Amino acid sequence: MLSMRRGLLVSGVLAASSCAMKPADSLTLEVDLPANFRFKSDAAYRPATGETCTLPKRRGKRPEDKVFDTLGKPVAHRVSFEVPLTEVVDGCPLVLRSITFDVYAKWGERSADVGGDFAIINVRDRLEDGMAGMPESGVQELRGQCQWFFRTIGPLHAIRKILMCNSLDVIGRPSKSRAGGFAQRDQLEGKALRMVLAVASEELPAVDDNWVAVPGGWKRCMGESLDDVFAYCRGNTTDFKAIKMPDGRVCDVYPTCTE
């Protein structure tokens, strides 16, 4: 309850600041989130290129960095924040260097049924050749896709899920790069950076050679015995073991749960 109140308070303050206290030297950060996704982000400021000043070493939090938090919703939604591009701390001119996102998503009803990954937007003095910058529309979109991977754990072979979020290439295919991307600082003032996250329509096995695709989903290989928690197929595609679903059912096929 305390964390929820804190999240609502932070979100409310940020929403109000975007209307009444919008920084003159800022960008609008927008994030499109799938249902049941939330994030906490950290905008990091460091000395501008060519500056000789340095910030004092600190343990733990850096007061010059800015934290943006949002709560998840049961439907897809967009959140928006105003992010300053520059700061001055202890007389040292700082510029926005990156925005890191800790992404969390629920995959089940229990409180522990949560997966997480992180995304990052790097803000550079100049982009490399071939990197897309700010379009004439004034909104630079950075598209990513989050993939759920499933596995089993323990003697009951209970389902657990892992979340991984990667950027999409120019034709919409997942790349090996982490979700987020790159932006050029002097193109951002008064413009918008929009990170768009989607979820892959199909879940995939987290571990190779553990599952066999069948009508309706996947069957878990038997391995050496019912007690073999690792249970690699090793060519045996006829012997399988039951799995325990997050809701407690014992089934033969994931995710359709043919019993």
Domains of the chain, residue spans: 2-199, 207-255
Token pair of 84, please? 């300053």
- Percent of the chain surpassing pLDDT 90: 71
pLDDT tens track for 76-119:
999 999 999 999 888 889 999 999 999 999 998 888 899 999 99
Q: What percent of the chain has pLDDT over 70?
A: 88
Rg (CA), the chain: 22
What the block records as the tokens of 134 is 């700010």
CB 26 within 8 A of CB 83: yes
Q: Are 191 and 139 within 8 A, CB to CB?
A: yes
Q: What whole-number distance in Å separates Cα of residue 187 and Cα of residue 211?
A: 48
Single pTM value for the model: 0.84
Average pLDDT of the chain to the nearest whole number: 88
pLDDT per residue over 166-194, tens digit each? 999 888 899 999 999 999 999 999 999 99
Average of per-residue pLDDT across 20-44: 86
Q: Which residue has the higher pLDDT, 171 or 223?
A: 223
**Whole-angstrom Cα distance, residue 166 to residue 207?**
18
